[in-house]
Amino acid sequence: MILLLIIFTVTMALSGITYLVATRKLEQRDTAKVHDRLVGKAPAAAAASHATPLFLPDGERQKNLLARLLAALNAERGLQELIEQAGLLWTPGQVVLASLGAGLLAFNVIWYMFLPFRETAFVLAPAAALLPVVYLRWKRKRRIHAFEAQFPDSLQFIARAMRAGHAFSVSLEMLHKEFPDPLGGEFRRAFEEQNLGLPIDVALEKLAKRLPLMDTQFFVAAVVLQKRTGGNLAEILDNLSKLIRERFKLRGEIRTISAQGRMSSMVLTAIPVVVACMLYFVNRPHMMFFVENEWGRLMAMIALAFVAAGFLIMNKIVKIEV
């Protein structure tokens, strides 16, 4: 067992070192190419065939091997949007590496250290590989909820600033100074994009894309329509703020009514697990059938799958969107 653990550790370490060295070499080569372009040291044959542009288009930026692979699989953009919505400074390549590392670690630990449960490695390893993505989705959910809680106050702040005589862009600048993250950071980004020359409607549409909420879509639509057709934007934002607060109130009432259903789903899910643990201590030979026997392990896995499916179905029933 110790020898297997040593072999596994050495293999993982060598794999990580090999990948880091290869990635470093590729990045150095790409950096050298960009440097040659900027200082005009392109090869003579390439210079004779066609002129080398000073700046590359956004889609032709130098990337490492993993980034190129993600771009070829059309997965880089989706991961990048998820990372931005979560508010983290990760890269798509780091997410993929974390997923591969978690999956390989879980598989090897279960396969070499938990011999009676070797078959579960094929189920638990993919589940472990999904942990970085699950963490990103959890961070995105928390961040969006925090933004949603601050949003009505921010709309009233913009309306009061506009009534005081400030322009809409100046209201955005004041907003990101008065409110903390995530709302302050998102509006600071929108203001800086607009300040650097991006049209205000495009900057706000990008804000709505980073925060996929119905409230932000209403806000962007109201600003764009007021810009094109005119109208009292301060009054529109006040009404939108009141509407959002009423939705919060209704959502709280629904959560209160559905609390019994959520509690029932948790209790019904926990009963099989608690009974299995009690039987393990009360009648261990009976429960060892689900550990030592191949058919018993298969039955246990199927039972756990049904319990998980029931929990998800019950949560879906009591979850009501407003």
Please name the residue that has the structure tokens 């993919």.
Answer: 126
Q: Across residues 12-29, what is the average pLDDT?
A: 64
pLDDT of residue 54: 39
Chain centroid to CA 74: how far?
16
Segment 76-118, tens digit of pLDDT: 788 888 898 888 888 888 888 888 889 888 888 888 887 767 7
Q: Across residues 195-222, what is the average pLDDT?
A: 88
pLDDT of residue 62: 43
pLDDT of residue 252: 83
pLDDT of residue 30: 59
Confidence of residue 52 (pLDDT cuts 50, 70, 90): very low
pLDDT of residue 35: 54
- State both tokens at 105: 């670690």
Level-2 CATH architecture, domain 140-256: Up-down Bundle (1.20)
pLDDT greater at residue 66 or residue 81? 81
Segment 142-158, tens digit of pLDDT: 999 999 889 999 999 99
Per-position DSSP letters for 260-309, written without gaps between them: HHHHHHHHHHHHHHHHHHHHHHH-HHHHHHHHHSHHHHHHHHHHHHHHHH
